[in-house]
Amino acid sequence: MYTFNRRTFLKGIVSAAALTGSKTFADTFSISADTTTEELTSTGIFTSGAEGPACDRDGNLYAVNYSRQGTIGKVTPEGDHELFIDLPGASIGNGIRFGSDGSMFIADYTQHNILRVDMDTKDISVYAHNASMSQPNDIAIMKNDILLASDPTWSRGTGAVWRIDLDGNVDKLADFTSTSNGIEVSPDDSTLYVNTSGSREIWAFDLEEDGSISNKRLVIAFNDSGADGMRCDVEGNIYITRNGNQAVDIVSPAGEILGRVATIGRNPSNIAFGGGDGMTCYITLADRGSIESFRADYPGRSWQMYQDNPLSVTAESSFRPEQITVNAAWPNPFNSTTTIQYNLASDSDIVMRVYNMAGQTVENRPLGRMGTGKHSVQWRADSLPSGIYFVSLRSNMGSATAKVTYMK
């Protein structure tokens, strides 16, 4: 087990942001120095190539190299696992993402492909191919389904980033003098994050709607170990697997260190958000061939994207957070106050959280203990700008979200 030493940890990090006067660990962030992961599966379920975790709309986890290379495994929130598909020929997957229609995209690093999987039929097709890609590694996805892939060339210690458009066309966006690895998009699709394993840096780019990038800048540099896969929560915080540090580090968009979660395995390779409320983080462990998990403060950005898109329903779903359901929001659109009606399957403590299109929280209100049956809660938006908001009602068994439009 990794032993956390705050002083050593802070000395080992150089932030690119000017953080004078800021606290290293945010007072409101519950993940603390003694937070550790729990085992979700036993060891040896995956090979040493365990990577590319991604969750479908129902919280099920998929990761590459289940039992043997060239496969995709499925793990439920309860830890049950099975083979999902075998990849064709000599293909071996790395990163996985889900599109808005529920399709699975896989970075096939041996064959220089992005594969697409129909989740209903399990048919596998080549979505994009470019022999100039060294080995597409991790992938990120925008809300409009444009994919962005990191592409390390380990033999030369260099890297690149590629854009894959909706027609499967592949274009190089940037080169790196170190091995590009983890890649993620901010909740509002305005920023692309890329980390470089060799130089232990996280870089940010301005991201346009067409997937083009500009204004490269350093977010944070580590000098104690490498960085691997990473994901954002809906607040924009970045969760980074540190495969040499036996930990997941959490960094704000400004480069502020918010927390660290110690992993049981030595080499965490990647991370994804899922479970019934999107607040469970799943970590692939290359040295143990297993999945570990911990609870986050906020849902993951990708998980919330699927909840907001009714098309993203995948097959073979084994878990649905039906403890709480939203029946209606009325009026909608509204110009001052809207009422959200919801139903509880059993008694539960309820918290209402409202956030904007950028994933920023605008209200967080505990509603207290509610009994089984129908309930309603009012939300006033008088002081906020017009726009689309999401009212999330969360119980200890799951969550449900209403999408509302405020018009002054």
Contacts with 157 (C-beta within 8 Å, 6 or more apart), sequence order: 177, 178, 179, 198
What is the per-residue pLDDT for 304? 84
Per-residue pLDDT for the chain (408 aa), expressed as one digit of tens each? Answer: 333 333 333 333 333 333 323 333 344 456 655 678 999 999 999 999 999 999 987 779 999 999 999 999 999 988 999 999 999 999 999 999 999 888 999 999 999 999 999 998 999 999 999 999 999 999 999 999 999 999 999 999 999 999 999 999 999 999 999 999 999 999 999 999 999 988 999 999 999 999 999 999 999 999 888 899 999 999 899 999 998 789 999 999 999 989 899 999 999 999 999 987 888 999 999 999 999 999 888 889 998 887 766 444 333 333 334 578 888 889 999 999 999 999 898 888 898 988 776 556 789 899 999 999 899 999 999 889 998 888 888 876 667 888 899 998
Which residue, 252, 269, 268, 251, is CA-closest to 260? 251
What's 123's DSSP letter?
-
What is the rounded CA–CA span in Å between residue 205 and residue 163?
Answer: 13
Structure tokens at 110: 């041996």
What is the per-residue pLDDT for 243? 84
Question: What letter represents residue 78's amino acid?
Answer: E
321: cis peptide before it, omega within 30°? no
What is the per-residue pLDDT for 298? 86
Q: Name the 3-class secondary structure at 307.
A: helix
What is the per-residue pLDDT for 19? 32
Which residue, 299, 156, 140, is CA-closest to 235? 299
What is the per-residue pLDDT for 315? 34
What is the rounded CA–CA span in Å between residue 79 and residue 60?
Answer: 9
What is the per-residue pLDDT for 27? 44
Which residue, 88, 58, 1, is CA-closest to 316? 58
Question: What letter represents residue 298's amino acid?
Answer: Y
Largest Cα span, the chain: 61
Which residue, 146, 52, 43, is CA-closest to 106? 52
Q: Kindly report the pTM of this predicted structure.
A: 0.72
What's 302's DSSP letter?
H
What is the per-residue pLDDT for 277? 80
Q: Name the 3-class secondary structure at 105.
A: strand
The dihedral over CA atoms of 301, 31, 279, 77, expressed in degrees to the nearest 10, equals 130
For 44, 164, 211, 373, the CA distances from 144, given in Å and listed in that order, are 37, 12, 9, 37
What is the rounded CA–CA span in Å between residue 292 and residue 313?
Answer: 25
For 117, 263, 394, the CA distances from 314, given in Å and listed in that order, are 11, 30, 22
Residue from 56, 108, 228, 277 carrying the catalytic annotation: 228
What is the per-residue pLDDT for 293? 93
What is the rounded CA–CA span in Å between residue 22 and residue 114?
Answer: 42
What is the per-residue pLDDT for 253? 93
What is the per-residue pLDDT for 77? 87
What is the rounded CA–CA span in Å between residue 261 and residue 253?
Answer: 18
CA atoms within 13 A on the CB side of 54: 27
What is the per-residue pLDDT for 62? 97
What's 69's DSSP letter?
T
Q: What angle do CA 118, 307, 212 make, to 5 degrees?
A: 75
Structure tokens at 314: 């995948």
What is the per-residue pLDDT for 15? 35
Q: Name the 3-class secondary structure at 306.
A: helix
Which residue, 340, 400, 331, 347, is CA-closest to 375? 340
Find out whether 46 and 290 touch, Cβ atoms under 8 Å.
yes
Q: Is 228 one of the catalytic residues?
A: yes
With tokens 């991201």, the residue in question is 207
For 275, 301, 347, 358, the CA distances from 188, given in Å and listed in that order, are 22, 9, 35, 4
